[in-house]
Structure 1
């Protein structure tokens, strides 16, 4: 088996910018040349048009010659039911398969053997032109079919150095794979020769090229769904300037959309992207665009659809559900409900419908009441809306809580879902075919969703009132059964007043509402009395505070007087202290002065003096001991 795998090539931004500047300069030169030599340019265009006409005529002549000329050295082959008369020697020189068949088979056997050549007439004609030495035009659309046919016919390097397979694969590697758009177009052309393209390695090469480019630049798959709802004017002026700076050297180029691929080509690409780490939000965007193009846009309500088209749309929607990443919040809840409705209409598999229901249940708090209005289909439908589907979605919502303990986020979601179910119950209550058991089931769901949320029962009462108004044929016991979940103690004063005058309610419920109303009035009166008592007590406290305030004022005046007396005494004490300190300093100075004079006199008389000892020491004359005798 012959396999080829081609690496990805990149182009630097600097080369692109340089090429853009060169093209811009050439364009300016051509404009000047056109203005100066308009006549010559017109003549050149005439020559090109004449040459193109001659080439097309030659091409038609060659095709006619290939199919009609006959000689002993020619052989007739069929491709797609179209006969081709070709030269045996030229075919054998380029194709090892045809060379061996020409030796082994007779003319009739060869004709029967090659009747089902895996190629269309256009592709086989290009091969015939190549064998007869004419120039071959390889394009994005025919490179894959040509490669497959060349591989099938054995037009390899072992047969001829100038072989067709080498030419097509070189073109595929150098011209197709580096470009996103060209790769998608070439990949799309492999659909008719898919087994041969897979054997040759063209499919793997295209998938690898597409995935590598998507990893480097996920925006090739489209913008994320949530960004589509953002206002285009939300960008500030600085962002606009930065975008303009980035677009300075960007050409007006639009990437080819993956949604142009058929499902058998699109599905393996997206599956491989999920495995290779392409961001989930961009994969989701591509899947939504694919479903919109092939399912939503091509579906018309009430239009008769062929079996093939219906089957194709069902397979596409099932594949989209399988490929959607299991990440919460990538799609708006409204869009998921739309996909679920199409899955029900197209009778998709149960796995597909359950998948959409689980995704909706995880973010049911984002839904609206109109989203839950899913029509019930089938000839034997009993209700207008699919109540069972809503019950399953609500069940998935409560199963999706990540933590068993009650958290702030879970409480907020529960409140939102409780309000949603009440609104939905109000909408479906007007359905004349809605049975009592079904209504009670929905009411139980609403009550269960409101547990622990301290919400009133006004929404449930409104739904019950609408249901009883549309189903006046119910008996007293059935009406009591409908109202059994109504908690009158959680009804507002306005709702109680309305219920007290509601003739559609059972008598027992009316009495219960009136009793609750009496309790509410009693509580209101008690609150008023308590408020009056509190006001009186507050007034007494204010009077006491006033009296207490007068006593405090007298005390403050006495304290101020005492403070003044203390300050006066302190002032007098400080004066006396300064006077005492001044007298001590003057006496000490006089004494110091006297001591200094006395010391000076003692030094003059030859006395040794110190600071603490002023004794006079007289020098005694030394006497020899012998003189004492």
Structure 2
């Protein structure tokens, strides 16, 4: 059999089968017309056999004329007369079934016109009908995971079963489906995707349920190479697959997570910043469909804490970022924030730098979102934190709270991440001091080994916000614990002109205090082991202790000198203020040093500049209380410092 396709007919496309005989039946399937012969089709399809037989009964003269012309054509072609008579006798057999047909069967106005049968709802469309027609003509049809479900539905539609003819299309498709497709989850996924255009027929004959069960049953045992195939599924089929996997006890959680991640990455555009690949066969959804899809993916996340090997922190933060872009529901956003908090120690700075997609917000990054995630992290890792602060807590509860506290490694990792985030957002001119301090003080004191990173973030914030008031500046600097600064940070802070003078004094004081403790521990070390012997190591220790004591004495003298210098500057500043007030109070003519009515201010500033040059002072001109009662303040009291 040879076939050709001709374009340009009034119905769009036409498919002709040339066998040396004129076509006697025309099938209209969607927008395509097939010119075929009735005998090959009637031999395989009970439905076509019944429909054409009924039409021949209604037009017997026309049927006899057509059969006579076919016999003459066969005789002229040298065909076997006996075979032709046998075909005619088979075509004249009457059927006992009288079921009404929904398809439209039309005959021509005059004799010689072929029958016309319309299949407007043929499963699989023209391509599937063409494959079924070739099968009726004896042409080999290669079955694949993509076409087995449409051909099985076509066989059901045309009633191409074993009851009508042996080795028919329905049996062939069933054998391939059971022996090949359903044994591999990747092929079952492709067949399930093809069923989306075959509903409800594919559901009625059980193809959908069998494919779903095959995917769920073999998801754990099979390799992960087929997980990307899930991206081709629509939302409805994906939900059925995940529900089937969740209902089975033999499916590992890691397999469910892998299916979830693969489906989300393949169907949600822009989910990962670093991933630009997207499956070409994946459906392109609208924004509303993407929002619904994302919420379904979030609902499919495991309720327990993920291991982090499959559902990673990067994936969770990418989902959260996409949820904010699509403006997903508050429940979905909150669920993602809680999930991201469980793996905050694995996140990177790039993950937590979430742009602010709210139209009313002023900051570049969504600081509020990161704050909520940190709070969820602390609530998850320290469930007994509030109970431990109560005075009436029992000893068992205190022990349980201590056990529930996260490991030092986890807290240190999160603290490093938060400090890096602080340094990144500190340069935002719209970030309020209260928000910066609140974020810096979220973690407990034991989370940071040293406060060098916090000091670095504070220094960036002060540089980016030069118009802070004295109270705001003190509050921002108060988030740094001077006791946890290293020598390098202390050296930088002592020379930092952006810090208030009180903070500089605190840095110097705690630096001296640390040195004194080091000397004391060195001096007390020999006496701890009993009566010491004067050996070389002990002598070296004593020499080192003596050197430290001398350095401590020098540092103490320097501190006293700084304190006296500050007091002297305060007295001189007070006297200058009184003199300026007297000059301003005079009602006489302006002094020669003033050029206008405002010259007094310029003169005072010039005097202040001369005072600075005369004393070589680089401190801020603000007056500070050098006799503060509590130099060592708690972290909470530092938040309320006043200038």
Scaled by the length of structure 2, the TM-score of the pair is 0.59
Change in Cα spacing, 1:67 to 1:351, as seen in structure 2 (3 Å) is farther
Task: Identify the residue that residue 482 of structure 1 maps to in structure 2.
Answer: 476
CA–CA distance in structure 2, aligned partners of residues 468 and 209 of structure 1: 62
How is 1:215-230 mapped onto 2 (pairs within 5 angstroms)?
215=220, 217-218=221-222, 220-222=223-225
Deviations 1:409-450 (A, max 9, x none): 6141333323332232122212222111210211221xxx23
Task: Return the offset for 1:139.
Answer: 1.0
Aligned position for 1:275: 247
Contact 2:150-2:198 at 8 Å conserved across structures: yes
Aligned match of 2:406: 410
Cα separation, partners in 2 of 1:129 and 1:475, compared to 1, 3 Å: same
Do residues 509 (structure 1) and 506 (structure 2) align?
no
| TM-fit CA distance, 1:151 | 1.6
5 Å-filtered alignment, 1:169-180, equals 169-179=174-184
The 3-state SS of whatever aligns with 1:406 is helix
Largest Rg, 1 or 2: 1
Contact 2:271 2:319 in 1 (8 A): no
* CA offsets 1:233-285 (integer angstroms, 9 cap, x no match): xxxxxxxxxxxxxxxxxxxxxx6953463234444324322332322223323
> What runs of 5+ residues in structure 1 fail to find an aligned partner?
1-54, 223-254, 543-629
Task: Point out the structure with the larger helix share.
Answer: 1
Matched residue, 2:16: 64
Q: Distance in 2 between matches of 1:418 and 1:171?
A: 58
Alignment of 1:12-161 (within 5 A): 57-58=2-3, 63-65=15-17, 74-86=24-36, 94-96=45-47, 99=50, 107=106, 114-131=119-136, 133-140=137-144, 141-157=146-162, 159=164
Q: Is the 8 A contact 1:184 1:256 kept in 2?
A: no
C-alpha change, 1:168 and 1:493, in structure 2 (3 Å) is: closer
CA contact (8 A) 2:195 2:208 kept: yes
- Tell me the equivalent position of 2:609: none
Q: Deviations over 1:577-600 (max 9, x none)?
A: xxxxxxxxxxxxxxxxxxxxxxxx
Q: Tell me the matched-pair count.
A: 446
Change in Cα spacing, 1:518 to 1:270, as seen in structure 2 (3 Å) is same
Deviation of 1:506 after TM superposition, in Å, equals 2.6
User: Is the aligned partner of 1:287 residue 2:260?
Assistant: yes
Alpha carbons of structure 1 residues 384 and 162: separation in structure 2 relative to 1, 3 Å:
same
Residue of structure 2 in register with 1:419 after alignment: 416
From 185, 195, 203, the counterpart of 2:200: 195
2:364 matched residue in structure 1:
384
Alignment of 1:136-535 (within 5 A): 136-140=140-144, 141-157=146-162, 159=164, 163-179=168-184, 182-215=187-220, 217-218=221-222, 220-222=223-225, 258-259=229-230, 261-264=232-235, 265-276=237-248, 277-295=250-268, 308=285, 310=287, 314-325=291-302, 326-331=304-309, 332-401=312-381, 404=384, 405-407=401-403, 410-412=406-408, 413-445=410-442, 449-452=443-446, 455-517=449-511, 519-520=513-514, 523=517
Q: CA offset at residue 489 of structure 1? A: 4.1
Distance 2:167 2:486 in 1: 91
CA distance in 2, matches of 1:519, 1:300: 49
Q: 1:432 and 1:512, CA in 2 relative to 1: closer, same or farther beyond 3 A?
A: same
TM-superposed CA distance for 1:81, in Å, is: 0.9
Structure 2: runs of 5+ lacking an equivalent:
7-13, 56-99, 109-114, 385-400, 537-643
